[in-house]
Amino acid sequence: MRMPTDIALWLQKTLLGLDREDWGLGYMLDGDLAFAPPDTPERWQAGADMIYRGLVCGLIAVDDLGATSDQASFLHSIRTLDPCGISGEGYWHATLIWGTERLNKLIDAHFPPGGERDDKLNPAFIEALEQMFAEKGVPWSDKTLLPILPSRVGVAAAR
């Protein structure tokens, strides 16, 4: 399955922002994404899936300042700590994320230096990502990879 254009643009912009930079984990929830408005469970799910794909493919690295002991614990945290809720907002802002050397090399192969980039979709970059995702067992699809587990308390409070 090919990645829809709006998702491809969102992913491209997000990954370009991680090129030799670090941000709070909440950065992965930013940007324009029509099917998942900001501050919704859909956006949280999209971010969790992209973080998971990025980790599996070695494109991103994270440091949650010792809040978790291993990758499984980290993944549990991003599935259960609502980035817009009291329980997770601090975690999503304090945890750092950055692009790895692998991401930097991929970007260097497909884009001019930072000051010379535009906002247009780079199909070759997206194709390389899709191929990498498929090779690592996390192919692009509309199915979730790392289902979020919103707190029942948060869901009940929202009603």
* pLDDT, tens digit (0-9, with 9 covering 90-100), for 30-70: 999 999 999 999 999 999 999 999 999 999 999 998 999 99
96 pLDDT more than 90: yes
Are 81 and 91 contacting, i.e. CB atoms less than 8 angstroms apart? Answer: yes
* pLDDT, tens digit (0-9, with 9 covering 90-100), for 98-157: 999 999 999 999 999 877 889 899 999 999 999 999 999 999 998 999 999 987 544 333
Helix (H, G, I), strand (E, B) or coil at 5: helix
Domain ranges for the chain, please list them.
5-158
Mean pLDDT for 88-92 is 95
Mean pLDDT for 6-15 is 96
- What was the pLDDT predicted at 114? 76
Q: Any bridge partners for residue 23, and if so which?
A: 97
- What was the pLDDT predicted at 87? 81
d(CA 52, CA 78): 10
Q: Give the alpha-carbon dihedral of 115, 110, 141, 60, to 10 degrees.
A: -70
- What was the pLDDT predicted at 149? 94
Res. 26 pLDDT band, cuts 50 70 90: very high
- What was the pLDDT predicted at 16? 96
Helices (H), 100-151: 101-110, 123-135
Res. 25 pLDDT band, cuts 50 70 90: very high
Res. 94 pLDDT band, cuts 50 70 90: very high
Return the number of other C-beta atoms located less than 10 Å from residue 149's C-beta: 12
